[in-house]
Structure 1
Amino acid sequence: MARASMTKRKQGAAWHQSIEGRRAIGVVLTFVILIPLGILFVMPFIVMVSTALKPLNQVFAFPPRIIPETFQWQNFPDGWYGYGYVDFSRCTWNSLLITVNNIIGNLFSCTLAAYAFARLKARGKNFFFAIILATMLLPNEALVIPQYVLFHRFGWLDTHLPLMVPPWFGWPFFIFLLRQFFLTIPEELVDAAKIDGAGHVRILLQIFIPLSKPALATLAIFAFIGNWNAFFGPLLYLRTPAIQTLPVCLVQYQGAYGNTDWHLMMAVATIAVIPVLLIFVFGQRYFVEGIATSGVKR
């Protein structure tokens, strides 16, 4: 009996060691894969900052140096104010104006649409929701010419309207994100609110929106990053330099004959990316929580 008991203990210890060994190997493999991938994704940002701190004669030096021999902090004010015909302060204000407007517009329109698709009982709502999702399959390039013709007939070209009006009519991905999150809110809360005499507006404002802060924060982060970094739309619709956005203004550093001040261009690009980094660093908790819970349906 004692010998059998010892045998079982040895087998249990061996099994436990085997499981721990597999876990350790899994952790090691995870780090072996993720660390190179992390370096690969961070490398463009490192090169951008490194170039922003170099003099022009060291930008293409061989062998390349990640850490400059001397840090040229003067590149940042020179890049920002160096091109007299490019008002980067004005370009930054234009980007901020469009971005804030589009965040508010997406939050307003997508919240209403998502609540309707998640909670209202209407015939055919799933069909229309499927149509909205189907529009995500269309590449943006296929819509460029129809949108351009439409905005031209409206007289909106060379204004901010083509960039600021559409977000007030919803965005398919954001509607899908919020709808999935709204479906996780218990039906009992809605029933209790209805018993107390609450209508849909009160239910949305007092129950859904307070409980959906992670998803709303995720939407705001996505909208901020997408609109702050937007290049194609502003390049297509904005011609007057006074109304152009920051990414379009950066193109002014690219000379027609290859004479590009890369160190100054990277300095301004580094300044432009700082708001995105701050938004993501301070909002990453809501970002991860919103993405993790939006795909769960109770």
Structure 2
Amino acid sequence: MTRKKQLGKIFLHAFIIVFGLCMIYPVLWMVTGSLKNNSEIITGSLNLIPPAWRWENFATGWKGFGGITFGTFFKNSLIVTSLSTLGTVLSSACVAYAFTRINFKFKGFWFAVMLATMMIPGQIILIPQYIIYNKLGMVGTYIPLILPHWFGQAFFIYQMVQFMVSIPQELDEAAYMDGCTKYSIFAKIIFPLLKPAIVTTIIIQFYWKWDDFMGPLIYLNKPQSYTVSLALKMFADSSSRTDFGAMFAMSTLSLLPVFIIFLVFNKYLVEGISTSGLKG
């Protein structure tokens, strides 16, 4: 029996390693492709090791287009992503607090409506939103990319509601006895206890917004305001030669912010989930 368990563990670990390599291989191929020239990328097939390490691809890619360096595109993405993530965290936490701690008319109905919005494809509301922002003169700015996130996101509201209902109501009652209002209870008690949900929201929302391509494509019309995801597309030119090496180099750099965010917050995410101890 012990031998069978050992063989089972060996098989399981071997399967996980092979599956993990299959999952990470495209990323490794892109990273190593950033050190190759076009012919090596096209004819090199699945080979990961570059014949020569061409670091000049990073310098070429960083130059950008039309005198606009990739530093500008990274700055634009950081502005849009950071403000959107901050708005998502604050607004979703406030809405979740209202659904879990405040009694108001038709609360169940509005909660159902909020959940129903998660089932609506984003393409359905794309045209009406564009018409509204265009009439308000906001097309060409970052406002359409940032503003909606300051009014709550259904997915993260639901996530925070599920976590918030596990926080004992006795904490609120004790705070009321000490003279706290609903606002101070939220700011001083509930919000700090939401760390696991907040960290999860930061990681997911930052990743989603950093990789967003459709939003910048629809609302941004000046190259100097492009985000990284939109700028990477500019490397591909159907009428002339595409510099795949520079494209892969900038794609590799574009992974760093997401990777850093995950490394920084992953520790708090794991600690929060394993030590929250608020279930009942």
Same fold per TM (> 0.5)? yes
Question: How far apart are 1:65 and its partner, in Å?
Answer: 1.9
Q: Residue by residue, what CA displacement relative to the aligned partner does 1:97-153 show, whole Å, maximum 9, x if unpaired? A: 111111121122111101011111223212211111111011111121111112112
Instruction: Give the one of 171, 174, 181 matched to 1:192.
Output: 174
Residue of 187, 199, 203 corresponding to 1:221: 203
> Gapped runs of 5+ residues in structure 1?
1-17
Aligned to 1:51: 33
Q: Which of 112, 127, 134 is residue 152 of structure 1 equivalent to?
A: 134
Q: What is the one-letter code of the residue matched to 1:230? A: D
The 5-angstrom pairing of residues 1-298 of structure 1 reads: 18=1, 20=2, 23-81=5-63, 83-257=65-239, 259-288=241-270, 298=280
Identity of aligned residues (%): 36
Q: 1:28-85: CA deviations, max 9, x gaps?
A: 3432432232112211210110100112221122454201121111211111116444
Task: Report the Cα distance in structure 1 between the residues aligned to 2:213 and 2:188, rounded to whole angstroms.
Answer: 38
Q: CA offset at residue 21 of structure 1?
A: 5.1
Maintained 8 Å contact 2:37/2:244: no
> TM-score, normalised on structure 2?
0.92
Do 1:86 and 1:249's aligned partners in 2 also have CA atoms closer than 8 Å?
no
Contact 1:49 1:267 survives alignment (8 Å): yes
Does the residue aligned with 1:198 lie in a helix, a strand or coil? coil
Task: Quote the offset at 1:25 in angstroms.
Answer: 4.8
Given that 1:107 and 1:216 are in contact with CA atoms closer than 8 Å, whether structure 2 keeps it comes out as yes
Q: Flag the 1:120–1:293 CA change in 2: closer, same or farther, 3 A.
A: farther
Question: Counterparts of 2:260 and 2:102 in 1: how far apart (Å)?
Answer: 37
SS in 2 for 1:207: helix
Deviates more, 1:260-269 or 1:82-91: 82-91
**For residue 237 of structure 1, what is the amino acid of its counterpart?**
Y
On the 8 A contact 2:118/2:155 being kept in 1, the answer is yes
> Given the superposition, is the C-alpha separation of residues 77 and 181 from structure 1 closer, same or farther in structure 2, using an over 3 Å criterion?
same
Greater Cα shift, 204-213 or 284-293: 284-293
Distance 1:153 1:191 in 2: 47
The alignment covers a number of residue pairs equal to: 279
Distance 2:142 2:130 in 1: 13
- Shift in CA distance, 61/201, structure 1 to aligned 2, threshold 3 Å: same
Determine the C-alpha separation between the residues in 2 that align with 1:82 and 1:167.
Answer: 29
Corresponding letter in the other structure for 2:160: L
Secondary structure, aligned partner of 2:33: helix
Matched residue of 1:253: which SS? coil
When residues 116 and 72 of structure 1 are mapped into structure 2, their CA distance, relative to the original with a 3 A threshold, is same
Partners of 2:226 and 2:52 in 1: how far apart? 34
1:136-189 CA deviation, whole Å, 9 max, x = no partner?
011111121111112112211111111011111110011111111111111221
Please report the RMSD computed on the Cα atoms of aligned residues, expressed in angstroms: 2.2
Shift of 1:205: 1.2
